[in-house]
Copies of this chain bind each other. A is one copy, B any other.
Amino acid sequence: MLKAPVASQRDVASSEAYALAVDAMGGDRAPDIVLAGLELAADRHPHAKILLIGDETVLKAALPSYPKAARICDIRHAAESISMEMKPTAALRVRGSSMRLAMEAVAAGEAQGVVSAGNSGAMLALAKIIVKALPGISRPAMVAVQPSARGDTIMLDLGANIGCDARNLVEFAIMGEAFAQAELGLPKPTIGLLNVGSEELKGDEKLRQAAEVLRESALGEQFYGFVEGHDITAGTTDIVVTDGFTGNVALKTGEGALKLAFALLKRVFKTNMLTKLGYLLVRPGLERMREWIDPRRYNGAVFVGLNGIVVKSHGGADGESFASAIDVAMDAVTHRLNDKIRARLDQLGMLNNNDQGLETHSETSKEPVS
């Protein structure tokens, strides 16, 4: 495969551009799990072209062991890498890191997206500075797919932004819609705004304001209203919108509770000979269940709202889960996630990054700011 020509001469959407730039050095067991993941991904995306960025010597030595990956990858040397422990501010100063070069390939139009299993704080900081936010998006967000009783639920933000205002929440809804269309193939996904239960406490001003804007917008038909914590796993809506602090806690609390359920279940099955026999009888179903709710299946957390597709794979991922992060990125590329976001922002008059619509609502609101 020929090395791609200079970035600036290329059209991002061109079929000759790299689909993805992959940070070969990110994650606890890089580059092995990255290469193992690409080997699996090559079967699923045989026509994808991947720009593999990392230590050239290491990669040239390792790649022949992954023949399918070798067929779709071009190697680009990066002299440095960012450790999992490095602070984002320090990571930004490492000019020649594999993660940074991957982001730069996207910014230059060489690749449409980037996948890394590296340090997520560094990744978010680099993405914001190098790939940059889409016009009309003030806060890129972290989004992922989670298991629910009705199939898959999409939640955002999962930690990219601690404090959020009403405008941010509306942007999250727009990005969530595009993500649900691109990743789950839902033409008109429903949207819920995460809130607390008691009527009295329901929502502070930013939540009420965001709800009002969404209800009256072109997304109004898809806007369900407020949802609560239990609605995430119930699958009440296809998309759950919340600030990054709450979203991060909810994501990890849900994962923790499922883990607790399996730990308790294991104890039940180990009680005696009869329960052990019981386990043997249900094992296949249990394993399917465990796989289905396995966070690895939902491994591709995506930073949305950037001028390119940016996918974060778990740091402790294995090859299978890295491949699933590649799948998520490829879906976003193929289904033109960002075009969908742009179109919706345009329709809602939010392309110019101003807060006009929301400020108007704020001024006319009868509710005191709590």
Chain A stretch 231-272: residues in CB contact (< 8 A) with chain B: 231-234, 242, 244-246, 248-265, 267-269, 271
Q: Within the assembled complex, what's the spacing in Å between the Cα atoms of A259 and B257?
A: 10
Query: Which partner residue on chain B sits nearest A290 by CB separation?
Result: B264
Residue A361 lies at the interface, judged by CB distance under 8 Å to chain B: no
Contacts of A160 in B (CB 8 A): 201
Q: Within the assembled complex, what's the spacing in Å between the Cα atoms of A23 and B269?
A: 43
Chain A stretch 40-73: residues in CB contact (< 8 A) with chain B: none
**Contact between B289 and A282, CB atoms less than 8 A apart:** no
**Contact between A200 and B282, CB atoms less than 8 A apart:** no
**Given A162-B204, A244-B196, A289-B265, are A260 and B233 neighbors across the interface (CB < 8 Å)?**
yes
**Shortest distance between the CB of A153 and any CB in chain B (Å):** 10
Q: Within the assembled complex, what's the spacing in Å between the Cα atoms of A252 and B198?
A: 12
**Shortest distance between the CB of A89 and any CB in chain B (Å):** 8
**Shortest distance between the CB of A234 and any CB in chain B (Å):** 6
Contacts of A245 in B (CB 8 A): 196, 204, 246
**Contact between A232 and B261, CB atoms less than 8 A apart:** no
Contacts of A246 in B (CB 8 A): 245-246, 249
A contact face: mostly helix, strand, loop, or mixed = helix
**Contact between B293 and A264, CB atoms less than 8 A apart:** yes
Contacts of A149 in B (CB 8 A): 259-260, 263
**Shortest distance between the CB of A228 and any CB in chain B (Å):** 5
Binary interface profile of A, 111-130, with partner B (CB < 8 Å = 1, else 0)? 00000000011001100000
Query: Which partner residue on chain B sits nearest A160 by CB separation?
Result: B201
**Contact between B278 and A256, CB atoms less than 8 A apart:** no
Residue A230 lies at the interface, judged by CB distance under 8 Å to chain B: yes
**Given A196-B162, A286-B268, are A228 and B257 neighbors across the interface (CB < 8 Å)?**
no
Contacts of A244 in B (CB 8 A): 196, 201
Contacts of A285 in B (CB 8 A): 267-269, 271, 275
Residue A281 lies at the interface, judged by CB distance under 8 Å to chain B: yes
**Contact between B248 and A233, CB atoms less than 8 A apart:** no
14 A-B contacts (beta carbon < 8 Å): A120-B198, A121-B199, A124-B200, A159-B198, A228-B249, A229-B250, A229-B251, A230-B253, A230-B259, A246-B249, A254-B257, A264-B289, A271-B282, A278-B278
Residue A31 lies at the interface, judged by CB distance under 8 Å to chain B: no
Q: Within the assembled complex, what's the spacing in Å between the Cα atoms of A149 and B196?
A: 26
**Shortest distance between the CB of A270 and any CB in chain B (Å):** 9
**Contact between A200 and B252, CB atoms less than 8 A apart:** no
**Contact between B230 and A252, CB atoms less than 8 A apart:** yes
**Contact between A249 and B229, CB atoms less than 8 A apart:** yes
**Contact between A159 and B196, CB atoms less than 8 A apart:** yes
Other 19 A-B pairs with CB < 8 A, given A229-B254, A249-B250, A274-B282: A125-B200, A159-B198, A160-B201, A162-B201, A201-B248, A204-B245, A228-B248, A230-B259, A233-B256, A234-B259, A242-B249, A246-B249, A253-B254, A257-B258, A258-B260, A261-B293, A264-B293, A265-B289, A274-B281
Name, among A268, A277, A288, the residue most crowded by chain B CB atoms within 10 Å (CB to CB): A268
**Contact between A256 and B281, CB atoms less than 8 A apart:** no
Chain A stretch 8-50: residues in CB contact (< 8 A) with chain B: none
